[in-house]
Amino acid sequence: MVCGSKMMIESQLPNIPSLEEIIAKAMPSMPLAKGTVTATVKGWARSFYYDPLTGKQVRFSEVPTVVAVIETREGQSPVVAAPTISIPTILAIEPTSIDLPTIPIPKAPDISIPNIDLPTASTIIIPSMDFPAATAIVIPSITLPETPVIDVPEPAIPWLAESFPGFFTDFAPLKPLVDTLNSLRNMLYTIQGSAYNEGATVKGGGINLVIYYVNTGLKLARKAVLDTITYIRNLRTNIQTAMNTYRDNIQTSVNNGLADARNKTQAALSTYRNNIQASVNNGLADARAKTQTALNLYRDAIQDSVNKGLINMKDILQYVLVNYHIRMKGAINSALADSRAKTQEALNIQRDNIQKALNAGLSTVIPMLYEQIGLPTDQLISPVSLRNVTTESFEFYALSPGIKLHYVAIGKRRA
């Protein structure tokens, strides 16, 4: 019973995938392969590509890029340690005493500003604008559809029967029936009235008289419909004639108006162009004359002011430069001596800081580099020669048996 219950429980449990199956479903197209290969012999050895998570062999759809390093060389490898760097003291240059030479200012030159002659204003000719001839507008004719032919039938209501037969018998038992039928016949005569006369005269009254009046009314209505159709046909012809006349009048008026507007516009543009051309040319000539006069006066004033200013400026600059030369010489020599002492002090502090930073950085960078590669710090890294890199494998050269190769292949993997 226990065994049977256990088998039943196990059959009801869900199928739990393995860790490798979960990783393969979550990351089906990881674009790299990674692994470590140990050479068994000296010389060329072959290695396949393996998934870094599942450890299964993989293939690439294209030749991948392979990066590889060898962990050790043949023989005992030294322990890797960061070197201690010592930076020598940097001596600042001894300052020299500077003797500034005097600067003699030459005599102010006599400046003569040349005259500016403006060129004569060119005559501007504005091209005329020719309007194109007005295009003749053709208004299309409007053709009304033909009036349909309507066939109005002539109505006629048939007349009732003109006579009814009488009944007679000598047989006594049937005589009451015959009298009854004759009474019915007389009643029909009374209801129907007299028969229809070919002379359009109805004798008496009754149903035939009503039929006569109805037929007469229907004939009058048919005649009115035929007269209406004739009027509609004539109306279509009259409307077509009026529309054609109206179209011709509109077309003539539009074309005459366009031609007149074009001619008037052309005349106005020509007059406007002549006025603009005359105004522009007169204005340019006047502006040139006034500008030339103003430039001549401005040149004379500038020339006089510049020459006077240069003579006065030469004397002022000579006095300022002599005093500035004396003060600048003492200030420069004092500043050079002070700057050399401060520069030496700053160089010594900077040298000590750089030396400490380099030594501290090297002591952490090299172990960190080995940790990122996954190698112990008592091993050396050496480059390796590769060949025959394909989508399934590659070959590397081992200097001796037991050497470990670390590789990473990057490319597009097959699904």
pLDDT tens digits for range 16-26 = 666 556 555 65
Lay out the sheet containing 32-38: strands in order across. 32-38, 404-410, 65-70
Can you tell me the distance from the alpha carbon of 242 to that of 199, in angstroms, rounded to the nearest whole number?
A: 48
Q: What is the pLDDT of residues 202-213, one digit of tens each?
A: 544 566 667 777
Higher pLDDT, 198 or 321: 321
Higher pLDDT, 147 or 391: 391
Could you give the percent of the chain with pLDDT greater than 70? 72
Say if residues 261 and 131 touch (Cβ distance below 8 Å). Answer: no
In the chain, the N- to C-terminal Cα span, in Å, equals 48
Can you tell me the distance from the alpha carbon of 383 to that of 393, in angstroms, rounded to the nearest whole number?
A: 19
pLDDT of 388 reads: 95
Q: What is the pLDDT of residues 58-76, one digit of tens each?
A: 999 999 999 888 876 544 4
Cβ burial, residue 407 (10 Å; 0-12/13-18/19+):
buried
Q: What is the pLDDT of residues 77-116, one digit of tens each?
A: 444 444 565 667 666 666 666 676 776 777 777 788 787 7
The values of phi and psi at residue 79, to 5°, are -75, 135
- Extended strands (E) in 58-155: 65-70
Higher pLDDT, 57 or 24: 57
Q: What is the DSSP letter of 126?
A: P
pLDDT at 352 over 70: yes
